[in-house]
Structure 1
Amino acid sequence: AVEPPKALNDNSDDTASVKPLTNDTTETSQTDQGKTNDDGKTPIPVNPIEPVDPDKPVNPITPVNPDNPDNPVNPVDPVNPVQPEQNTAPVLNVPEDQTVSLSHNGTFDVLNGVTASDKEDGDLTKAIKVTGNVDLSKEGTYTLTYSVTDSAGQTTSAKRVITVANDLPVISADDQTIEVGTSFDPVVNVTASDVQDGDLTKDIKVTGNVDTTKLGTSQLTYSVSDHDGGQTTKTINITVYAKDASFSGLDALTVQQGSTPDLRKGVSVSDPYSATPSDFTVTACDTKTPGQKSVTYSYIDKWGHVTTQDRVINVIAEK
């Protein structure tokens, strides 16, 4: 005879009860805690499975170094992406500050010598912009601002100072020596010129006086102004001199020791300013001792100019 199978929950003849499988993952209730299995052992509660939080990032798994399991392999740093090449600013070449001459008819080219270039755009000279202007007809300091912009919008600028200056007139006059009694024109051989106004000789003014009847040195000051107010002055010396008179008959003379020779005998003087020259003087000669002596002849003309000349006197001993 075949015994019918026991019910699934019939554990009357079993030593241990079988708990049916369920999907319940909750913790054992307090009423169930403390119960024992049929063998008297305290049951171990099953920890429930924590649900996965979709917003919480999962910790990455550190790779294992196969050569050294105790040291994990560091993750490889990502390669930096290639940065696009940066645009360079234009290069602006501007001449240095400059001083130019004032000019009533001239013009100043503010772009002369100014260039611009760019690594990406090439020559940008034609794109240069200038702020400011230079008035050559008026003295002063003028500031010019140059700027240039490339196709990427980068701008380079530079400043330059232009000074407009009035050139002062130039006076040409030198020291002079003139003979006494002659006529003298203070502006003869004196000239003046100016860069802006040209010849200004006719505008020269002279201060000072030269008396050609007196020997000596006098000063004359010349001044001239241009049409823009620039003035120049120059001072020169004018020296009035007289020609020397000339003596004749002053050959060497031999006299006896102790004698009193006539040193004026045979001597005459010629004055370039007088047909009848005045008398001349002569120093004394010591004839007490033999030897070569010297005497001096002097003449003063009507201008007060003194002419002197020496004469040799040979004193010989008595026989």
Structure 2
Amino acid sequence: GKVKVDASKTTYKAEEGKFNATFYVDEEATTNVENSIQVLDGDVIDHGDEYTIVAKHVQLTRSQAEALTDEDLISRAKAKAFKREDMSAATVAIEKPYTVDSEPGVYKVTLYVAEEPTTKVEINVTVVTGSAPELTVDPTYINIPLGGKYDYTYGVNATDDEDGDLTSKVKSTGTVNVDVEGVYPIVYTVTDKDYNTVSKTRIVAVGDIIVGEDYLFKANNYVILKKDAKGTDAEILEKSEAQAWVKETGIAVPKANLEVRDNGGYKAEVGTYKTTISVKGATSAKDKVEPTARVIDGDIIDQGDEYVLVASNLVMTLADAQAMTSNEDLIRLTNAEAIKTKDMSAGTVKLETTTFKAAEGNYKATFYVDEEPTTKVTVNIKVVNKDVIIKGDKYYIGANNVKMDSSTASALTDEMLITLADAEAWARVDFSSAKVEVESHTIIGKEGFYYATFRVAAEPKTKVTVDATVTKTKLVIDASDFTITNKEAKALDEETVLKLAKPEITVDTRSRAAIPTTKDIVVHKPHLTSINKTDIKGGKFDLMLSVTHEGEEYVKVIKVTVQAGSKPSVAPPTKGVSTGDSTNIMSLWAMSLLALLSMFYVVRRRKEDNE
């Protein structure tokens, strides 16, 4: 017959659940049956003699597979078994052995009805790598001040679809040194239970870091002494301590890849220069740093944390020393200057201690920066009794104005002029003596006013000019050249010089002042010292004798010959004019004539008085 569904008594729907259905015979409607229908969510199903089993394929993450149990697998497969007769539940079991591990792949597992083992289904268990965690590091670039604090957890969190909040599992690699300017990449990493790992980098800049398009930069303004400056691009890179980092990764750019794009005319001369540094190959105009370089004249420099202190050793005249009235004068004369390197602004210099006195001698002075007292320098100060002192790049030179008689002027040599002017030079760095030369002079053997210019042999542009006055000759020193051995030269003293040279003094008889004697003659000590230091080879030396009369200094230069070896000394030549000294002949002739005229003048006056 024909079977039909009684719709009024049927609840069946195409969805998971339990339903009823009533069927009847179309030709005999009273003949009908009612049965139960159960719809299950599954991928595979098997109907046995009495039981039915249904299950779904399973997908697991690696971490889920690693922790999988039989009960967990049955649950995840939504496996169910029923006795069809009454739709009562039956027991689902897993056929063993079976394999499901944490390695990604597809594993086959058989489930069966415990009450009817021949009723079974095979499911696929697929192990996959789950979705990666989501790691947030915001912001990715942070700038903090020098000496500040860095919170490694700031702006960092992580979540995972399977594992939930993983923020506490985030680890950081790298360290930020807040006491040192620079760029520090900090790498944040998080791993979920499926071993999915995510990393992100944050760039932490400490201090004054310049942010460009593709690079980060750091460079310091700097101060350098003129005597130390080379004026090269390499020096700019070195002294500014220029650095660069790749902006995205924080990786340092090798120093060899840095270049000076513009040196601002930088050279080893006093001045302030604005320079531009970039990375080789960088194309963006933003990728640059512009440190300022200052070349300054000075002898001592101290670089502090924020300030630079520069000062010069000082050679000053006694007159200038006596004119000083305050510490500020000493600061000014030594050119002591404090500079804040960050913006090249001026600091305040203070005097800490000094041994300085307004008297000839060597002294010291220590200065410090008022805003940074640990930054300090100590300078040397030399006070000398000179009329004029000039400061050069590496040397000081000083000399006195000169006054001499016409006979001395007529016989003047460069050595005599240097001695008469007491011209001296000193290295600025340590006050060691330097050689002085006569550059030029206008002095002749006539009364008048002249000038003389001296220079430092090692630094000719450093020179000093003094006045020279030539007066009438009123006194002549006559002395002999002499020869001695090397041994005698080392022991030569002033008394021996006078014995060997046998000096005599001739004075204008009209002089009203006391007439000097040979005991008043002074031997020039620097000349004597040079002779004392003669080596075994010997040599010829100038030796100056001088005497003061009526406020003027009169000199005589003799020749001293030091023989090599240790032969006996040669007796001094007959007193009179030394070999080659034609000016002495003229001087003696002039003095003789002067004496005769003086005698004539005295006789004539007496005759007039008698009349």
* TM-score category of the 2 structures, normalised to the smaller one: 0.3 to 0.5
Larger Rg computed on CA atoms: 1
Please give the TM-score of this superposition, normalised by the length of structure 1: 0.36
More contact order relative to length (CA 8 Å, sep ≥ 6):
1
Give the TM-score normalised by structure 2.
0.21
Per residue, is there more strand in 1 or in 2?
Answer: 2
